[in-house]
Structure 1
Amino acid sequence: MDNQNSGATGPSLSQYFANDPPSFFDELAPKEKHQKNENVSIMSATFNGAFKQPEYIETGDIEDDLKVPDEVRNFWEPPFTEPGIPPHLTMPGVMSPNDLSDPIREAVLIHLGESELSQRKILRADDVTQDERGLRNLIVAGCYRSAVNLTGRLLTIYGQGYGRVGQPAKNTPHSLQLWFTRLSLLAKLGQYELLQSEAEAFDHLTRPDVYYEFHPDMYSGKKGSMACFSFRLLLAELPVYFGNAPEALDKLSELHAICNEIKKYFSDDSTACAFWRRREMRVLHSIVNCAIMMRKFNLIDDIIRGMILEETTLTREERRSLFSAWGRIYLQIGDIFGAEQKFAESRRLKETISSPDLRDFVDKGLIAVAKNDFQEAYLLFQKALQIESGNTMILNNMGVCLLYGGKLKDAINLFERAINLNPQKSLNESLLVNLSTLYELESYNSANKKLNLLKLVNKFKPDLNISLEFCLKLQGS
């Protein structure tokens, strides 16, 4: 992702957000993050829970790996300002006087008491240096709420802390990077009300004071946007978090059109043109996410077909990944034949003709799930797991297959084994939701088993992206 100052020491903070902004490579059928994925159609009529369906997850991020000068990276046309008329300025401020609390700590106190809380060892904002290095350490450790709290302190230094919204304060590349980090973390944590209120001040970065040209005394000769491109993409995507995919689609389409114009502007510079083509692709990925939510599958077809036919810089493996993604999207609409065709194209693009690899096994396993052949799907996911042991997406899908095949206890044993082998990685939201659901279906001693899960979460997880009440179904425990 973007490093706003190419000469800065250390990587940009934005690289530490594994799936922000989300890409359909990461989750091909994303649900709106603030909604519960309720699906009880396969359950007993008396069951009032949720079970997460087989996952369509790809690891990997789309990053700008092309080295370009600042004038290419920051290129963005500043808004026109009428001479003699004071321009509207960007005047953000932290909207809450309080630090984000630790919901895991609160749940442990309620359900397990003070003695169990002593097992919780996580970094707080006070435990790190009060600067970007400390912020990076918190993010790497997965302590996202603590990181949000530290951004509030650092923004206060810039005169943009609590109570300062609407008050004049100088924006700098560093302050804008802090805001991008803070808003990305709020999105990741599902803090949508605070996210919305704090993002409003930025007005999609269309005001003149977020451009170098507005500050000639501070940045002599520099031009373009002080805010990173990822910040613009995040702001365009925000309506998705609030359930308004059509608005997000409009904003992303506008962003895509601008990227396309900038790419054409640099048509005589192959590296700069390729750099902006990468950014254009990132916007297209977000548009695909919106189109999936809106069930605009013709639009998805057009976009992915255009990527494959028009993007000449893609490697064979990248094209293969696109065909695989395309096939998995076809599965979301129940077109098994279309999915099989795309998966076949994906296999033909393998660099070498060899035995099936991880992608082949997962693709075939998802086809078997779509055909309700859960035994075959389980065997295929099992072969994929032999290639990449500990892959939680594959483990989750294997558990789904066991449940749908009527093997409840085997599914529980599988998830419990995965947690025992690698608790830090396996205690993710999908697996926690599914295992808690299975405990309820089993009904025997489910409350104590869920409390044992809470003990593990307390010990190994700094943060969760969805509520513990939903994850572990602790209400009434």
Structure 2
Amino acid sequence: MARDRIVTTDPEDISLVLDLWYLRISSLARLRLTNQASAEMNNLFSVLYSLQPDFAREYLLDRLLPFELEVLHARGKYWAGDHMGYLDALWALVSKCRRKAKDALRRKGRRVAADAGGAEKEMWVERGSRVVLIIASQLIEMKDFIAATKVLAPLLSASPRPAPELQSAVARIYLQAGHLSIAAQHIAEVESHPAASQTMKDMNAAMLATAEGDWAKAAEILQGVLAREPENFAAVNNLAVVLLSQGLIKEGIDVLEKALSTSPSTVVVAEPFLFNLSTLYELRSATAAHNKRNLLIEVAKWSGDGLKTACLKMPSN
């Protein structure tokens, strides 16, 4: 649909054309067709960067280019395996958000209609915060937990009572880094936050119980979450890990296979889910290779070209 609209749209309606390009490339990314998404995005930005005269190019990139498309452009470096380049591109976007927020604040001081400038400032502050969360996520993937917490610390201090989603994210980073006491403090604050959902509170409590080695408590909490939300696949995956830690391998396989049969298009693109199921197959029986081949066939139906197939733990030959 986006492609057809791009072809038929008036080329002078640049804002609409760029919005349609974002729709197309983000759709390709959601389908995990990352090679095609990267190729089309690189071609698009090559055209944008070559526009003349210079002031027209600068105006388009600064005023008309959708911010979401810029985030996708940075994501292309991740798809290409350039993780440091990805972080550099994200930091450049954070710098842009800060500059835009300051510009909006200055304009607010000169305007009679001050609300417009305030709303624009808040928009850029929120965008910058979201990019910082992406940076923290990338740092976690790179196992640099200390850097991730340092990146998120300014977001926590920016508000007298941070959003529960942000506080939960910080708590889980500390859990992964092994700082249980600090994580417990953040989890307690989320527990008392009026905007925090019960599922968020339960997931935090289960992760803390897991980090403390209280597998029975973690399993009980996660089973309660799944009783309310059967399609909460993060809880499914965590429950399988908890069951494995209790030596209940068959039960863990059953939990993951049930999720796989319920919503294959969702779970086969989640690499931790596939890794855990492959691991359980290896621990359960001598038919692990056969089971993983069947899993590979299922993955091939849905995964596109963005999946890291090493999560299936298949032999290279």
- Fold match by TM threshold 0.5: yes
State which drifts further: 436-445 or 262-271: 436-445
What's the C-alpha RMSD, in Å, of the aligned pairs? 4.2
1:341 corresponds to: 185
Question: Which of 225, 245, 249 lines up with 1:384 in the alignment?
Answer: 225
Deviation at 1:289, TM superposition (A): 2.8
CA distance in 1, matches of 2:97, 2:310: 42
Question: Which of 422, 425, 438 lines up with 2:280 in the alignment?
Answer: 438
2:86 corresponds to: 248
Structure 2 SS opposite 1:225:
helix
Structure 2 SS opposite 1:266:
helix
1:363 corresponds to: 204
**Do the aligned partners of residues 365 and 339 (structure 1) sit closer, same or farther apart at CA in structure 2, a change above 3 Å counting?**
same
Paired residue type of 1:439: Y
**Do the aligned partners of residues 171 and 290 (structure 1) sit closer, same or farther apart at CA in structure 2, a change above 3 Å counting?**
farther
Higher RCO by CA contacts (8 Å cutoff, separation 6 or greater)? 1
Contact 2:274–2:311 under 8 Å retained in 1:
no
CA distance in 1, matches of 2:38, 2:217: 44
Paired residue type of 2:4: D
CA distance in 1, matches of 2:136, 2:308: 27
Deviation at 1:443, TM superposition (A): 2.6
Structure 1 SS opposite 2:307:
coil
Alignment of 1:165-184 (within 5 A): 172-177=14-19, 179-181=21-23, 183-184=25-26
- If the length of structure 2 is used for normalisation, what is the TM-score? 0.75
The answer to whether the aligner puts 1:350 opposite 2:183 as a matched pair is: no
Question: Which of 125, 129, 142 lines up with 1:281 in the alignment?
Answer: 129
Alignment of 1:447-458 (within 5 A): 447-450=289-292, 453=295
1:270 corresponds to: 118
1:107 corresponds to: none
The answer to whether the aligner puts 1:228 opposite 2:66 as a matched pair is: yes
The answer to whether the aligner puts 1:307 opposite 2:162 as a matched pair is: no
Residues 345-386 of structure 1: CA deviation (Å, up to 9, x unaligned) = 21122349xxx9211221121122222332322122112222
List alignment gaps of at least 5 residues for structure 1: 1-127, 133-153, 159-168, 217-221
CA distance in 1, matches of 2:257, 2:187: 32
List alignment gaps of at least 5 residues for structure 2: 109-116
Contact 1:189–1:465 under 8 Å retained in 2:
yes
CA distance in 1, matches of 2:142, 2:303: 34
Residues 404-437 of structure 1: CA deviation (Å, up to 9, x unaligned) = 2211111122222333444454444343443233
2:170 corresponds to: 326
Question: Which of 239, 243, 249 lines up with 1:402 in the alignment?
Answer: 243
Q: Which is helix-richer, 1 or 2? A: 2
Alignment of 1:109-188 (within 5 A): 131-132=4-5, 172-177=14-19, 179-181=21-23, 183-184=25-26, 185=28
Deviation at 1:206, TM superposition (A): 5.0
Alignment of 1:191-210 (within 5 A): 191=34, 195=38, 199=42, 202=45, 207-208=50-51
**Do the aligned partners of residues 472 and 302 (structure 1) sit closer, same or farther apart at CA in structure 2, a change above 3 Å counting?**
closer
CA distance in 2, matches of 1:324, 1:366: 11
Contact 1:187–1:195 under 8 Å retained in 2:
no
